Copies of this chain bind each other. A is one copy, B any other.
């Protein structure tokens, strides 16, 4: 079985992610989608819970889903141990797709092949979040079923609150 790993935070899942998955599935039979930083939510960079992100991804993948695993992985304190933590919770793969140089270095120490993912220019998670916060046209950057879920989650309102409060980290600003 030819299977590849694809890592992201998916805050939220957007058309660039879908493009990458399509690309990977041209060569590989299955893709293991790692929902990284899974423990975080209700922050500026991580507004959605892992459960919400998984729901969005399955909806956005549509017919591709039966060739995908979608697995939440918590960040660990140790960068060096993190790839082993990922491998503990994921099916076996032969290639890791990531454009992050550090991710590539870390997985290479395990003898795994790493490759860059082709990117759809003009789409990124931070852009989608910024547009949500500022009342811009974010929907066009996101698969339609995912956009509908974001609305069900009151995601836009949530994003605006987090933006206004500038909640950078978990546990921050809980008082004065």
Interface residues of chain A, those whose CB is within 8 Å of chain B, are: 7-10, 36-43, 49-52, 54-55, 58, 65-66, 69-72, 75-82, 84-85, 87-92, 98, 100-103, 105-106, 111, 124-126, 158, 161-162, 164-165, 167, 170-171, 173-176
Q: Is the CB of B85 within 8 A of A81?
A: yes
Name A72's closest neighbour in chain B (CB-CB).
B89
CB distance from A38 to the nearest CB of B (A): 7
Name A51's closest neighbour in chain B (CB-CB).
B90
Set B76, B91, B170: member contacting A51, Cβ < 8 A: B91
Set B55, B69, B75, B158: member contacting A70, Cβ < 8 A: B69
CB distance from A163 to the nearest CB of B (A): 11
Set B37, B100, B174: member contacting A75, Cβ < 8 A: B174
Name A124's closest neighbour in chain B (CB-CB).
B176
CA distance A120 to B36 in the complex (A): 36
Interface centre among A55, A89, A98, by most chain B C-beta atoms within 10 angstroms, is A89
Chain B residues near A37: list those with CB within 8 A: 171, 174
With known contacts A41-B79, A69-B70, A80-B49, A174–B88 Cβ distance under 8 A: no
CB distance from A48 to the nearest CB of B (A): 10
Chain B residues near A75: list those with CB within 8 A: 170-171, 174
Q: Is the CB of B102 within 8 A of A162?
A: yes
CA distance A165 to B52 in the complex (A): 29
Q: Is the CB of B162 within 8 A of A49?
A: no
